[in-house]
Structure 1
Amino acid sequence: MAKAYSNKINKIRSFALGLIFFGVIIMYGGIFFRDNPIIMLIFISLGMLSILFSMVVYFWIGMLSTKAVVVTCPNCDKPTKVLGRVDMCMHCREPLTLDPDLDGKEFNEDYNKKKKQTSGSTES
């Protein structure tokens, strides 16, 4: 089965949303330990930490989203934000690139990773 790609901004937002749900479930798990207030406090504290971390992730992706390049998707003609050299359209999942060297190549998220520089130059 092929790997399902999606837009980077949407992936990070989905992760933050998952943290909120995880935190709420952990906090509800503390209800089962009403008789032991220490364990209940631990569960509620872990849930709150998860929700607070989600807030940090949402703030970070919001700041990152303001710096993203807005392009018009050639497939659906809707504006979408592109992070990195390659990304997917937020609406129709069309592969998009800002690098002319990658036009026509098959979509691969590895194009966004920085390659290790080989030290082939000689020092004087």
Structure 2
Amino acid sequence: MMAKKYSNKINKIRSFALALIFVGFIIMYAGIFFRGNPIVMLIFIILGMLSLVFSMVVYFWIGLLSTRAVVVNCPNCDKPTKILGRVDMCMHCREPLTLDPELEGKEFDEDYNKKSRQTKQT
């Protein structure tokens, strides 16, 4: 069984927004195949534009989150990285990071960021 691949939360959300841009363009280009039917072509173009607009909203939202993220220097690569939540990964070297002293030394698990997991531990 392959190990789960973790990455920084900010980078995950940015990658999702970038994927939305490409999906939007692909949907709009698919509309070209329906040039004979303008209504269907218009529907594809509108769906593609909605994907692009949603991508812009996601980028704006992650930008706001990024301004509130805690910036720390990674102990492994000594580069500044942003942490969202109780646990996160370094943006550069994927070192597990936490600001919670209770989690230091424990194996990395993204479930530590979930509210249900926090209430069970206390």
> Which structure has the bigger radius of gyration?
1
Query: Alignment identity in percent?
Result: 82
- What's the counterpart of residue 89 of structure 2? 88
The Cα shift of 1:115 comes to 2.1
Question: 1:34-92, CA deviations, whole angstroms, 9 ceiling, x for partnerless residues?
Answer: 00000000000000000000000000000000000000000000000000000000000
Give TM-score, length-normalised by structure 2.
0.95
* Structure 1 residue runs without a partner (length 5+): 119-124
Partner of 2:53: 52
Structure 1-normalised TM-score?
0.93
> Over the residues paired in the alignment, what is the CA RMSD in angstroms?
1.1
* Letter paired with 1:23: G
Runs of at least 4 residues off by over 3 Å? none
5+ unaligned residues in a row in structure 2: which ranges? none
2:30 matched to 1:29? yes
Aligned residues: 118
Greater share of helix residues, 1 or 2?
A: 2
The 1-side partners of 2:36 and 2:115 are apart by: 53
Distance 1:74 1:9 in 2: 19
**1:38-117 paired onto structure 2 within 5 Å:** 38-115=39-116
- 1: distance between equivalents of 2:90 and 2:66? 14
